[in-house]
Structures are given as structure tokens and as C-alpha cells.
Amino acid sequence: MARYLTPARIGLLILTEQYLSGHLASGARLKVLSFIASHIVASTGSDGQAAFISLDADAATFFGSLSGLPSDVPGRTAHDTLLQRLWKLDGLDALHTLFEGMNQIVAPTSESENAQKQVSRASPLSQLIRRCSVEFTRLQFADSQQLWAAFVSWRSSTYDSWAQRNPDDAARYKQNAEAVNEHHPTKLRDAEAGRYMSAEDTNDLITFSVHHLQRMGTRVPEAMRHKLQTWISEQSDSSVQSLQHFMAFFEHWRSGQYTMALESLHRYFDYSLIGKSSSSGSETMRVYYQYALLHLSVLHADFDCWKESVEAMDECIATARENQDTACLNFALSWLLYLRQAKPDNRISGFGSVSGLLGGAAGEHDEISFLKGKARETKHWSLLSSTLLEEAKLDMYTNGSTPKSIELVTQSGFVNLQHDLRTLMPATTLFEGATFDRIGQGHLASRTHDVVKFVHGDRAPLSDRTRSLCRTAYGVAQSGRCSVGLDMLQEFLPVVRGVLKLEQRVTGFIGLLQLMKSLRSENLEAAAHYHSQLIPIRALGDPELDFEFNLLEIDLFIRQGDLDAAMKAVNKHIKQTAGHSAGDIAQRLHFLVLKSNIFALSGQATKGFSIALRAASTASRLNLVPCVLEAIGALATILNDLSKFDTARQLLDAALPMMLETRHSKVTAQAYVASGEAHIGFAGICVPDSSERLQQVREGEELVERGRKVYARLEDISGVLECLVIKSRLARARGDEPGAEQADAQYEQVLAEQEGSPELV
């Protein structure tokens, strides 16, 4: 098998000969030269898909862009003259003659040769000619025969075009083919076009595939994987075999095959050491060893083997320091910081902290400052951008400093734009959406998540696209369109099929939406079924999935009337987030508000008052708007239970405009109902039959009706029924029997629709 020479490159040499011989019109010479140059300097790293198509194409596709260019012969195009020369090659001897003639047009190395030459030895054309000629000369006879057979198969796609223009030559070719018992070109077309690949092309395509797997987090398509396996099996080059196992490592990793991924990683570095040791000896072994440990640590962490991951990273850091590999060391230190934040309770690293590793303070902010300084010093901009995001996450989760986090996210986005870090742009965009959500700007957050889909598209890593879509679908479901959110996730599920972690994430969100929908429809049997199916997602280690599942689980316990189980679950989550350096303080506040609500539901409103007040105060200080609004709603409910109706009414009147702006529909519906109850309760202490009392009742009924409409939009059956019960009682209290009967009829209609709806399974 040739290292570089392929049928397509032989065709490129023939086109070069046509260009140099002057058989092209003056208007076509520049375009032909541009075509040749684009294939000489083509790199799979810049456009791997285009390079793959070009290498796998037959002659008709390869030279298709030349069909409209004129030649020096009237009535014939450059494509026609090229095919005429292409089909003049009738055997290996003609191929030898072609390469001998091409060698004659390269400039000599000494001035003693007086032959007329046309191409300088330093030009790209000369390099192409000399490289192909040298390799063809060194090919063994069996390999040259295989190359010729592949070339005949490759050009067979142009037979009809050539035969139509050259019928006499086509007839002679047919007679010669029958004489030597050679297949006719029309039969050769059925064979796989472009299956003859050089070792260098295979190496380039595997390298591109590995880079794509690393950056995008996807897997190689099935058709391309089969072709690569076929080409690799025909190669004996050690570097190709080495990259084959590295690609297999990423494939097994993404598919969730932990043992096979480990084995493929070991094989990759074994082959790499064998292939490089002859030239650089043990020095190369040390360099490869630290990167082996780096990948090994990342693999262990992805499968939740945190102890093994930290141990491998500690050894990687020690090796990188010994070899003075700054790039590997900085990345390893950044990854070690991530590991310590992900599992702060397991500080099993031998270095303790990143700053302590190199002397100095051991605080996490000092570690981040150290990494930022090193990133600027070494101009490692991707490390700087990711470190800025880590700092924003640390400030947001532990200190609750949302303005500071927004500033850091903006800095990271500026670095991405300044240095064209396209793979990091979607992650920065998602984090920016999270900051908007924390300050109550839900509409901006949803638009920011759409940026990943509509702006970055397929150029974004698959993990970022998955997170963006899951957040968008969950936000749509929270606004009352659960079916729309489920459809979005179901349509996206085939995209992540085969990538275990991402497929589990999408499947988990589908289960969450099904659980949410069953809870809102008061189908508690189906909700219990979905809950039991979702319990294993806690083992995935996804904080976002865990938090949303915990909220829905507590909601299920409350709707089932099991307040003891709900309180135990809330206390458990509060205890887990207390003093947790990587825990989100906003999540702790959410659970505190839930605890106060449970106290109110159990008739112990006074116990929940101080909890809700403390949560509201903390959330207000940290500018966590959704938490503030939830705490205000809880406080208003508790104040109503304590008969402080005027205070609850004033509190909700001040908070309702902001609730409407933040688009938190459930909180808004609860606030409408609580405000209506506050007005009705306040009317009870007014003078009987006074205008003020009638006005308060009328305003209370109107607010309850608004809450019913929001609940109806959310498809929350229990909320709708609660509002209808309040309306019925108010109508009877003022003697409006038709209004009460209308509310009762709506109540029965909702119950009938609920009983007639299909079971969710």
C-alpha cells in the first residue's frame, strides 16, 4: 500500500501536465491552477468533511468543477482534453512513461544540465511531482499493480463522457480490454469508488476524527467508521495503527464502555511508544506518559471514579513538572481544581490545592488567580477562558455574587471572540443564560439558550447543544407546554443516540417532564410510576438533573399528602447543601422556602415564618430574584394563615409586577390566589355591607380568577379546582346562586376531563 500516492493524485499529476503543456485557454489557467493548489495544500484539519468527500470521490466527481472551463481546442472543454489524456493510459508501462515525463519538467539541481525545464524545485507543483515520482519508483511490483487496478476503477466513472467524445478510441479500448480479459468500465462502476487510500490520507482522516471527537463530543458516523476500518486494515503504518486505538478510545468512552476505553487507551500509548522509541528513545516515552495519565484521569472522572482520577492527575502533574511541560501542567492543574470543586468532600489529592502545590496560600480564589496568571503568561487563551468561567461559577455558587459572575462571563466571552475560541463560545453562552435566569430575566435566558442552536449550530460541542436544548425544553414545560417540551426532547434524542452520558441526560429530562405533566394533571399513580423510574438518575452525578428531580419528588409527596416524607426529603437536601463549597446557595434557599411551605400546609405557620423571612432576606441581598419571589409568596401564605391579611396584600401588590416580568408562571398563579385570599380575608374585618368590603371581595374574586387562568395555562388541575372552590364559596356568601352553580359546573367539568384523559404510561 502506498504511503502517499493514490489514483486521485495520479489524476492531479495528469491535470498538472495539461496545465504545463499549454492545452488550456488563457481564461481557464488561473482556475485550474487554483484547483491544483487547493488539493496540494488541502488539510483535513480545516475542513475535514470536504477533504473526506474529495478523497472518497471518483474521477467524475473529482474533476466535475472543470467541466465548464475552455481549452485551446475549439469546441472542447478543459474537462474533455483531460479525459482524453486520462484514457490514453492503457497499462503500467504508460504509467511509468507518465512519471518519467513528469520528472523531465522539474528544474535540475545543477547548472550543468542544459535541458529546458519549466517548474522550480522549490514550488509546490515540483514537490508534488517529485514526491509522487519517488514513491512510485519505490513501490513493489505487487503494490504498483494494485495501484493501477485502483486507478482503472477510479477513472471508470468518466467512461461515458469520454466515449461520447472519442468513439474510435473507446472502440479500440473495448477490444483491448476483451483481449486481455479486463472488466469493462461499466462493470467497474459497481465497485466501491475511491476505496484505495494512502497511509497519509488515512492518518489525516483519523486525526481529524480524533480532533472532532475531542472538541465536539460526538461519535464517528457509522458509514465513515466502516470506511476507516477498511482502510486501516490495509495499512501497516505504525502511526495509523496507533491513532486507530486512540479513536477507539474516544468511541468506547462516549458509548459508556469503560473497560474497553481503558484497554484502547493503553494500546494507543503502547503503539505510540513502539513507533517513536526508535527515533527518540526514552525521551519520547516520558512525554507520552504524562498525556496518557491526563486522558486516564479524565476518563476516570467521567465514570465517577473520583479517587482513581485524582491519583492519575497527581502523577500527571508530577511527570509534567519533571519534564517541564508547561501546557500539560497548566491544563492538569485546571482539571485538578475542577475535581476538587466537583467532589470537595473527598480531598484525597496528594497536593491538597493548586496554590499549595507551588507554594503560597491554599484558597480557591488564589488558585484561580495563579491559573489566570499562568494562562496569560503562556498565552494559553483557552485555559484563561475556562478559568474565568470557573471563577464565575465559584462566585455565583458559594458567594452568590451574580454581578461579579456576569462580569467574569463577559470577560470570558471577550477572550473567546478575540482569539476565535469557537468551541468555548457555547459554554460561555450557556453560563450567561444561567446568570440571566438567576436575576429573574427568564426571557433573556431563553433567548441566550437559543443562540447555541441558531448561531453556533453543529459547530458547537454536542454536550453544549444538549444542555441548551434540555434547558429550553424544561423552561417551555414550566410555562405550561409540557407536550411541546417533550416533542423537542424526543426529536433531539436520535442526535445523541450512542453517546451514553448525553443520551442519559436527554432521557432523564424526558422523564422529568412526564413526571411534571402527571403531577399537574393529578394523575398520582402515573406520577409514582415515573418517580420510581427516575430514581436511578441520581447515580448519574448531574447536579441540574438531581435538583429538578428533588423538587418534583417533594411536590409528589405534598400532593400525596405525605408531609412527613416531604419534610424529611427537604431536611436531607438542606443538610447536603450546608457548608458545601461546590453547592449552589440558590438551591439551598429553594429548599428553605419549600420547608416553610410544608410548615404552612401542616398548620404550623409560625415555624415557617422565620425560615421564609431569612430566605427572602438572603436572596434579596444576593440578587437571586426567583428565590426572593418564591419566599415572598411563602411569606404571604403564612401571613394569611396568621390573619395578617393587610400585610400579605401589601407584600403581594409590591411583588406581583416583578413576578409577571420574570415569567415564573407557577409562582405567579400562587401569588394571585394568595393575594385574592388576602383581599377576601381583609374584607372580613371591614364594616359589614360597606362599599370597602364589597370592593375587597370583588378584587379578591378577580385575583382568584386570574390565578385560575394561569393554572389552566399550566394544566395544573389541583390549582384550577382550588380556585373554583373559592369562587363557589364567594358566590354563595353574597347570595349569587347562579354564579355558584356555574363554578360548580366548571368544577365537575374539570373532574370529568381529568377522568376521561388517557393514562400516562
Task: For 138-169, write each residue's pLDDT tens digit.
Answer: 888 888 888 888 888 888 888 888 888 888 88
Task: Give the Cβ contact number of residue 565 at 10 Å.
Answer: 15
Q: Is 539 helix (H, G, I), strand (E, B) or coil?
A: helix
**Range name among 363-377, 506-520, 532-546 with the lowest pLDDT average:** 363-377
Task: For 406-444, write each residue's pLDDT tens digit.
Answer: 899 999 999 999 998 888 899 999 999 988 988 888 888
pLDDT, residue 268, reads: 81
**Range name among 93-102, 364-373, 382-391 with the lowest pLDDT average:** 364-373
Specify the pTM: 0.79
* Torsion angle in degrees (nearest 10) through CA of 430, 436, 440, 445: -50
Grid cell 420574570 — which residue? 662
pLDDT reading at 489 higher than 90: yes
What domains lie within the chain, and their CATH numbers? 7-188 (no CATH), 562-756 (1.25.40.10)
- DSSP label at 105? T
pLDDT reading at 116 higher than 60: no
Q: How confident is the model at residue 453 (pLDDT cuts 50, 70, 90)?
A: confident
The predicted model gives 4-29 an average pLDDT of 84
pLDDT reading at 629 higher than 90: yes
The predicted model gives 110-125 an average pLDDT of 64
pLDDT reading at 195 higher than 70: no
pLDDT reading at 272 higher than 90: no
CA 559 to CA 622: how far, in whole Å?
31
pLDDT, residue 193, reads: 44
Grid cell 395555562 — which residue? 713
pLDDT reading at 45 higher than 60: no
Q: How confident is the model at residue 50 (pLDDT cuts 50, 70, 90)?
A: very low
The predicted model gives 205-234 an average pLDDT of 71
Report the percent of the chain where pLDDT is more than 70: 84
Helix axes 381-394, 364-378, angle to 10 degrees: 160
Task: For 640-663, write each residue's pLDDT tens digit.
Answer: 998 899 999 999 999 999 988 887
pLDDT, residue 409, reads: 92
pLDDT reading at 188 higher than 70: no
pLDDT, residue 647, reads: 92
CA 365 to CA 399: how far, in whole Å?
12
pLDDT, residue 518, reads: 92
Q: How confident is the model at residue 683 (pLDDT cuts 50, 70, 90)?
A: confident
Backbone phi and psi for residue 420, each to the nearest 5 degrees, phi listed first: 55, 50
H helix runs in 217-363, sequence order: 222-233, 238-255, 258-280, 282-302, 306-323, 326-342, 354-357
pLDDT, residue 155, reads: 86
The predicted model gives 272-286 an average pLDDT of 53
pLDDT, residue 185, reads: 58
Helix axes 258-280, 238-255, angle to 10 degrees: 160
What are 119's strand-pairing partners?
Answer: 106
**Range name among 103-112, 318-327, 345-354 with the lowest pLDDT average:** 345-354
pLDDT, residue 238, reads: 54
The predicted model gives 99-121 an average pLDDT of 67
Q: How confident is the model at residue 675 (pLDDT cuts 50, 70, 90)?
A: very high
Task: For 576-598, write each residue's pLDDT tens digit.
Answer: 877 544 567 888 899 999 999 99
CA 432 to CA 454: how far, in whole Å?
16
Q: How confident is the model at residue 707 (pLDDT cuts 50, 70, 90)?
A: very high
| Cβ-based neighbours of 274, under 8 Å, separated by 6 or more | 238
- What does the mean pLDDT of the chain come to? 82
**Range name among 288-302, 518-532, 610-624 with the lowest pLDDT average:** 288-302
**62 vs 225, which has greater pLDDT?**
62
Instruction: Please report, as a single letter, which amino acid is at residue 715.
Output: E
pLDDT, residue 105, reads: 78
pLDDT, residue 471, reads: 92
CA 67 to CA 164: how far, in whole Å?
15
What are 70's strand-pairing partners?
Answer: 77
pLDDT, residue 610, reads: 92
Q: How confident is the model at residue 541 (pLDDT cuts 50, 70, 90)?
A: confident
pLDDT, residue 551, reads: 93
366 in Cβ contact with 373 (< 8 Å):
no
